[in-house]
Structure 1
Amino acid sequence: MTYCVGLKLNEGLVMLADTRTNAGVDNISTYRKLFTWEVPGERAIAMMSSGNLSITQGVMTRLNRSIQQAKADDSVETILNADTMFRVAQIVGDVMREVQGRHSEALEQRGAAADATIMIGGQRKGGQHRLFLLYAAGNFIEATDDTGYFQIGDHKYGKPILDRVLDKTTPIQEAVKAALVSMDSTLRSNLSVGMPLDLAIIRTDTCEFSHQRRIEPDDQAFSEMSEAWSHALRGAFQSLPGNFES
């Protein structure tokens, strides 16, 4: 299973992903699900993936192959020379359809799910920072002021905190804490989501990553935040008003 969350705020984008891949109780592995590309000052793009690992790895491999081909042939369109972030999402959608068309039927005949989802966030110079959610069919939706975040994977445990504390004016620092608490809630309730975690931040109009970090299981700052959140929840619960036995 997977849990990834992407936040679109006035101050920028926050992307957070776990790394656990679960193909059964005796087949648990660690694979990166957050991928980044950067031309500092010109564009920064992050993608997070969930679903069939062979499908999503195939998509990332093809995207990177096109980037390499464009070095020798500037007529090759890639996510690093597309003229808008919307076009970036279209390119990824086209590649998703190609990979699905090649493998999905064979996978489904063998009883394996071919579903895959990719979240795409980024900004290019002269454009706005944008966040898209791309489905297995290659179609996608975009985050708006009304719905400023996306989740992929097992999202039910991490959603309540986001709904309660986030809006587009939330500062980046507070949004990062909200994303981490959302992830912590999921880690505690779903064994198929696991550390380490990958975090990336793109601040508005910088067109580069202001922060990229892997959070390991023994990370002190994350452990302190997790314990503080648990303590705060216990205190809030104990202070709730109401006597329903009278």
Structure 2
Amino acid sequence: MTYCVGLKLKRGLVFMSDTRTNSGIDNISTFRKMFIFEEPGERCITIMTAGNLATTQSVISLLEERGKAPDDRNPGIYKAKSMFQVATLIGDTLKEVIASHTDSGQQADAMFSATIIVGGQVGDGEARMFMIYPEGNFIEASEDTPFFQIGETKYGRPILVRAFEPDMSFEDAIKLLLVSFDSTIKANLSVSLPLDLHAYDADSRTRGREMRIQADNAYFEEISTGWGVALKNAFRELPDFAFPSA
């Protein structure tokens, strides 16, 4: 399974993804699910993937190969003139890869399904973020929908809905994401550390601060423990329940 989140802030975009793909007792695998395409000063595009690993790796490989040979597919990811064109290109590529599996005799295209978050900035355009569905269509983040989740979304969503603010700092946004990921990891063993992080500064058009948060990261442990204690304390402070009088 997977958990990936993209936040659209006033000051930029923040992306975080886990790296677990299998969680069987004797079959635990780690693969990167975050990819960055960059031409410093001209464009910076971050992609996160969830779903069938063969499908998502094929999509990323095609984007990379066609980016090196833009004449083979125009415009390639390095030639697209807007983030809308980038989202359209990725959607078409995803749809193409899924169709190629089913056309080659494989059954049940749902087995090869994948969902993608892409965000970044191209040229003079603003920083934008999209969620792309297996069918190749997509929606854009907005004031009404300022963040996207893909993969195992339900456990980490409540904290995002309650606490996210578009004018929050990168540091607060990352703290919020770590709480969201901790809640997901606690509830579902198919999501796990390491976590990949990318914070993109709006209008920089170059990759921002990146890091991989390992299982032994002291700050993550502090957040995890502190959040558990805070929840217990908040629960104790709530009014006591009482049955109505007979």
Residues in 1 aligned to 2:242 and 2:206: alpha-carbon distance in whole angstroms: 54
Match of 1:158 in 2: 156
Give the deviation of 1:20 after TM superposition. Answer: 0.5
Residues in 1 aligned to 2:4 and 2:73: alpha-carbon distance in whole angstroms: 34
SS of residue paired to 2:234: helix
Residues in 1 aligned to 2:222 and 2:138: alpha-carbon distance in whole angstroms: 37
Residues in 2 aligned to 1:156 and 1:96: alpha-carbon distance in whole angstroms: 24
Counterpart residue type for residue 46 of structure 2: A
Give the deviation of 1:23 after TM superposition. Answer: 7.1
User: Of 93, 96, 117, which aligns to 2:94?
Assistant: 96
Matched-pair identity in %:
47
Match of 2:209 in 1: 211
Match of 1:179 in 2: 177
Residues in 2 aligned to 1:4 and 1:209: alpha-carbon distance in whole angstroms: 18
Match of 1:148 in 2: 146
Work out whether residues 41 and 208 of structure 1, in 8 Å CA contact, stay in contact via their aligned partners in 2.
Answer: yes
Residues in 1 aligned to 2:150 and 2:197: alpha-carbon distance in whole angstroms: 15
Q: 1:68 to 1:194 in 2, by over 3 A?
A: same
Between the two proteins, the alignment pairs up a number of residues equal to 243
Match of 2:35 in 1: 35
Match of 1:195 in 2: 193
Work out whether residues 38 and 44 of structure 2, in 8 Å CA contact, stay in contact via their aligned partners in 1.
Answer: yes
How high is the TM-score relative to the length of structure 1?
0.93
Q: RMSD of the TM alignment (CA)? A: 1.9
Q: 1:126 to 1:215 in 2, by over 3 A?
A: same
1:46 aligns with 2:46: yes
Residue by residue over 1:80-139, the C-alpha shift from the partner in whole angstroms, topping out at 9 and shown as x without a partner, is 221000000011111112111111354435x97111101101012311111100011111
Residues in 1 aligned to 2:134 and 2:187: alpha-carbon distance in whole angstroms: 27
Give 5+ residue unaligned stretches, structure 1: none
Work out whether residues 22 and 28 of structure 1, in 8 Å CA contact, stay in contact via their aligned partners in 2.
Answer: yes
Counterpart residue type for residue 217 of structure 2: D
Residues in 1 aligned to 2:20 and 2:214: alpha-carbon distance in whole angstroms: 12
How high is the TM-score relative to the length of structure 2?
0.93
SS of residue paired to 2:46: strand
Work out whether residues 194 and 213 of structure 2, in 8 Å CA contact, stay in contact via their aligned partners in 1.
Answer: yes
Work out whether residues 125 and 205 of structure 1, in 8 Å CA contact, stay in contact via their aligned partners in 2.
Answer: no
1:22 aligns with 2:22: yes
Work out whether residues 98 and 112 of structure 2, in 8 Å CA contact, stay in contact via their aligned partners in 1.
Answer: yes
